[in-house]
Every structure is written in C-alpha cells, then in structure tokens.
Amino acid sequence: MPAKVVVVGSLNMDLVTRAERLPRGGETLIGKSFATVPGGKGANQAVAAARLGAQVSMVGCVGDDAYGEQLRGALLAEAIDYQAVSVIEGSSGVALIVVDDSSQNAIVIVAGANAQLAPEVVAGFDAILQAADVIICQLEVPYSTVGYALKRGRELGKTVILNPAPASGPLPADWYASIDYLIPNESEASALSGLPVNSRESAEAAASQLIAAGAGKVIVTLGAQGSLFADGARFDYFPAPKVEAIDTTAAGDTFVGAFAAALAAGKSEAEAISFGQVAAALSVTRAGAQPSIPTLSDVQAFSPS
Ligand code: RIB
C-alpha cells in the first residue's frame, strides 16, 4: 500500500503566456504562446506526490465554473482522492503567468474559491487528516486554515510540512511548533526571517532563525544551486543536478511533493531531498505547472550529464 500524503491547499487554473522577456510597468508586449494549464501550489504538490509514488488526498475548494471541473479532473487523472475538494459557487482560483526566454516567470494569483477553504471545511474532513502519514500546507488559502491544519496535524502526530509560499512577511509565531519541515525558497526565507538571503551564509542565518522560532527542520531551496538542510545541529548542502531550464514554474512544488512522497515511503531525509532535487530538475526542463512534473520512472531513469 503506498504511503498517504494529504495536501491542504490551493487549486488554480494557470493562464500562461510565453514572451521574450517579462513586461515592465505600463508596457504591452507581444506574447509567443498561450495555454491554460492546471496548477496551484497545493494541487501541484499533490500531483507531484502522486506521480512519485504516494497515495494522495487533497483538501481544497474550486468554483462551480469550467475551470473547477477541469481542476478536479486533473486530480482524478492522477488517481488523487478529491472527495474533499469542495465545489462552491463562484470562480475557481486563477494564476496569470508570464514565462520569459530565460525560463523565469512572474505570477499574479487571484484566490477565487481558494479563499473559501475555511478551517471548518478542513475540520469536516478530519478522517482524511487522520489517515495521513504526511500533511502538506502552503499559503494560497486563508492563514486561519493553514494554522488549523498545521496544529491538527501536530495533534494527530503526523509529519507536517509547510511550504510558506507565497510569503510576504513573518509567519504567525504560534505555527512554528507544529511544523516538522519548513521548506521556503530564498525569497520566502528572507520574508519569514527578515534577513536578506542571497548566499550560503545568509541562508544558514535565516534557517537558524526559523529553527530558533520553533520549526523542527528547515530546507531552503536555492534553485539551480540546490538546497540547504538545517536541523539546529548541522547544515547540509545538496547540489542540484545540472539541466537546461525552459520553465521554472512549479519546480518548488515538485520538490515539496517529491520530498513528502519519499519521506512517507520511509526514505531518509537525505534520500528524500536528493529525490526531490532530481524531480525538480526534471520539471524545469518542461513547460507548465502540472504537465512538467515527472513520474517515478522519469526520476529513476535520470542520470546527471
Ligand atoms: O508554484 C507554481 C504555482 O503558483 C502555479 O501553478 C500557480 O498556480 C501559482 O499558484
């Protein structure tokens, strides 16, 4: 029986254009392509965990529009349990994404139905949380709901992961004691800690501060540089495999979902981080959010060049 990962989080339809570069304020650019692609940090992490070997349930909300139907359909296609993805009146979450020729992106999200994922909705699916081995949250649903899910996960004795994305400032102080693994990227680590994070030393300083705040362990993802693991006693660096990136959208989500799936399957932290890094590296070689996420056989077949 595969291990059980439960994701409490967002589902968005991504409206993606490719352009030579990101537009400046007030500027109109001619794009090269347009696509609608299932995304949302929560759903992306659920898809990553499922493609990489975990049995996955998702708790979230979509609107009663065509996007909502497609977003639930995308979970169904991955055999993800979506009985706890409620359909509510109104629009689904959307993300407006521009990807440039250097594979960087700019994203604006509109929460839509994700804003309706109240703590009471999650509490109504407590049996799903109880069945979890690992619970993952992000920050695209109301903070009250994230706080509830983290604390309930801790009460139930589950492994609790928070990917604090997108982050605009410090986290509520009373969340930290419920977090086993806090997984920010550099800018999120900076927003959470209030420290600039742009080097190994500064990533270590931020990670130490987040552990002092109460997080169990911190993994700062450093993009093409790999990731930094910190547990309060030591720092470990995990270099990223070298690949040709065409679109970094959902690379962080792929890392988080892959890490959770590997951890739930009983792998060590080091194995789970390395596994996550290969999965994330593969994801940046493909376009889009969910379409870019590799399968277990893709990861197993990967050999660094
Ligand atoms: O992390 C990538 C995701 O961020 C996209 O799929 C988009 O929906 C936004 O939530």
Give the distance (Å) from ligand 1 centre to CA of residue 40.
4
91 and 71 Cβ atoms separated by less than 8 Å? no
Distance 41 CA to ligand 1 centre (A): 5
Ligand 1, from 17, 249, 253, 256: best to mutate by most atoms within 8 Å of Cβ?
Answer: 249
pLDDT in tens, 230-288: 999 999 999 999 999 999 999 999 999 999 999 999 999 999 999 999 999 999 999 99
Please answer whether residues 242 and 277 qualify as being in contact, where contact means their C-beta atoms are separated by less than 8 angstroms: no
Cβ-contact 45, 288 below 8 angstroms: no
pLDDT of residue 305: 66
**3-state secondary structure (DSSP) of residue 47:** helix
| Beta carbon of 95 within 6 Å of any ligand 1 atom | yes
Å from CA of 289 to ligand 1 middle? 7
- With a cut of 80, say whether residue 303 has pLDDT above it: no
Average pLDDT over every residue of 86-113: 96
Over pLDDT 70: what percentage of the chain?
A: 99
User: Atom 8 of ligand 1 has which residue's CA nearest to it?
Assistant: 40
Q: What is the pLDDT of residue 80?
A: 98
Whole-model pTM: value is 0.97
Give the Cβ contact number of residue 120 at 10 Å. Answer: 10
Question: Residue 3: what pLDDT?
Answer: 76
How far is ligand 1, taken at its centre, from the CA of residue 38, in Å?
9
Average predicted confidence (pLDDT) for the chain: 97
Tell whether ligand 1 has an atom less than 6 A from the beta carbon of residue 289. Answer: yes
What's the pLDDT tens digit per position in 131-159? 999 999 999 999 999 999 999 999 999 99
Domains located in the chain, CATH noted: 4-8+41-69+79-91+114-301 (3.40.1190.20)
pLDDT at 2 over 90: no
Give the whole-number percent of the chain exceeding pLDDT 90. 97
**What residues contact residue 6 under an 8 Å CB cut-off, 6+ apart?**
56, 57, 58, 59, 128, 129, 131, 132, 134, 135, 136
Determine which residue's CA is closest to atom 2 belonging to ligand 1.
250
pLDDT digits (tens, 9 = 90+) for 165-215: 999 999 999 999 999 999 999 999 999 999 999 999 999 999 999 999 999
Task: Report which protein residue has its CA nearest ligand 1's atom 1.
Answer: 250
Closest CA relative to residue 279, chosen from 72, 11, 47: 47
Q: Coil, helix or strand for 102?
A: coil
Complete edge-to-edge strand list for the sheet that includes strand 227-230: 81-88, 55-63, 4-8, 134-137, 159-162, 181-182, 217-221, 227-230, 235-238
Structure confidence at residue 304 (pLDDT): 73
Ligand 1 proximity of 186 Cβ (cutoff 6 Å): no
Q: Is 39 in the pocket of ligand 1 (CB under 6 A)?
A: yes
Q: What is the mean pLDDT of residues 10-27?
A: 97
Question: Quick check: 1 pLDDT over 90?
Answer: no
Nearest ligand 1 atom to alpha carbon 93 = 8
